[in-house]
Amino acid sequence: MILIYTNKTSQRLNYILKFLFNDIQGVEFRIITDKNEFVSSDFPKINYTADPMEGSIQIIPTDILFESNILQKKIEVSNWENLKVFFQTSENSDIPFDLFAASFYLISRYEEYLPFSADKHGRFEANQSLAGKNGFLYDPVIDQWACKLSGLLKENLPAGQAGFETCKREFKYISTIDIDNAYAYLYKGTVRTIGAAMRDLFKLDVNENIKRFQALSGEKDPFDTYGYLDALHKQYGIEPLWFFLVGNYNTYDKNIPLDNEAFQELIKEISKVAEIGIHPSYESNNSFDQLKKEFDYLSGISKKTITKSRQHYLKLLFTETYQNLIKLGIKEDYTLGYATDVGFRAGTCTPFNFYDLYNEKETDLKIYPFQVMDTTLNQYLKLSVDEAVNKIGEIIQKVKQVNGTFISLWHNESLSDHGHWKGWEPVYKKMLEIIFEKSNKDE
């Protein structure tokens, strides 16, 4: 049990304490406003006030956790214990920044509620974030801060009292795969197939049309990597999550026609052996009715209750996107991450409940932030295969250091060795080798 003394409480404070202590550390906490009760207790203690107090770790509060509005904050980033920190308070306190407020700022995505310059898809980009601008996007700073705090509490336990272990939860891995385009050539319909063939003719891309003809003649379609993925997952004991795009065909939504029997059969077959979620279309961002239509379609085909989601193109607008998902009955969302860079968009590698800043309340929607996407490495960062593997390894190591949850976002087509994915087929397997290297060595 951890005791936190404060002059006042708030929804925001209670939310972030639950995350830091229950979710990351796996310990209970209690907020106390009675000073005498706090001083007389033998439990590990945190003094969240500006007044020094013996026998406790002091964190001096700033205003953000006791406000009920969203304001532009002047933030300066500095270093403490080799970690980036902000909301600095006093060098004389045990922790010289408001760890609780800084954690809340990042995990609530406070900065994304403020005015920003969106990209062409309406997205908040990595280089606009506080983490991106100040060099800590590649660090799960909230988890790192929590581990530091836990270590200080352990060092300051009353004499003779047994303590709690620091950051002793287990590292986890979640593989997620988006099916934006189930097949490269098959089942597209006559008009789309002829149109694509004519386009490639005009571009003098003979090889593309040869591959198209081969697939249409019975050879394996390049994007049909499902058997290979299934074998890999069985080899490593992975239970992946598959997200299906089932929107109408348009500029950014280009999957197989929904009435195609082969596509429907693919959904059914995968849903029999793995958990599936909805991949809301680009178009659905502007229409809840369209979102509901896609949800009903996927539920109907799979004959399963759909509770997981990830937005196509990672289109995410606070709080409209999440409110629509909650209205739909979605319990878990896997959208939170950047298209343009890898790293920790919310400053953490621990799943958390979405906090709605507009309505000042914690919701039941669980957010699973991912750290690495294949398209980011290949198309946005334009890394070589070796560079991509090294980058993935660096992120995995950061997550393992705090025993967090590493989540990857892959596509069936990125293992096709086709088009701009030429040579990239081994990357996914190499990532799995890095993730499971310790257990392999122990065998």
- Cα separation, 236 vs 229, in Å, equals 11
User: How many Cα atoms occupy the beta-carbon half-sphere of 14 within 13 Å?
Assistant: 10
Q: Give me the residue spans of the domains in the chain.
A: 2-155, 172-184+221-442
Provide CATH code, domain 172-184+221-442: 3.20.20.370
For residue 190, pLDDT beyond 90: no
pLDDT in tens, 55-71: 899 999 999 999 999 99
For 141, the 3-state DSSP assignment is helix
Residue 154: the pLDDT is 83
pLDDT in tens, 281-312: 999 988 999 999 999 999 999 999 999 999 99
To 5 degrees, how large is the angle CA 45–CA 47–CA 53?
A: 95
Q: How confident is the model at residue 166 (pLDDT cuts 50, 70, 90)?
A: low
pLDDT in tens, 245-283: 999 999 999 999 999 999 999 999 999 999 999 999 999
For residue 168, pLDDT beyond 90: no
pLDDT in tens, 213-249: 777 777 899 999 999 999 999 999 999 999 999 999 9
Residue 61: the pLDDT is 97
Q: Which of 179, 395, 409, 163 is CA-nearest to residue 279?
A: 179
Strands 78-80 and 83-85: antiparallel
Q: How confident is the model at residue 113 (pLDDT cuts 50, 70, 90)?
A: very high
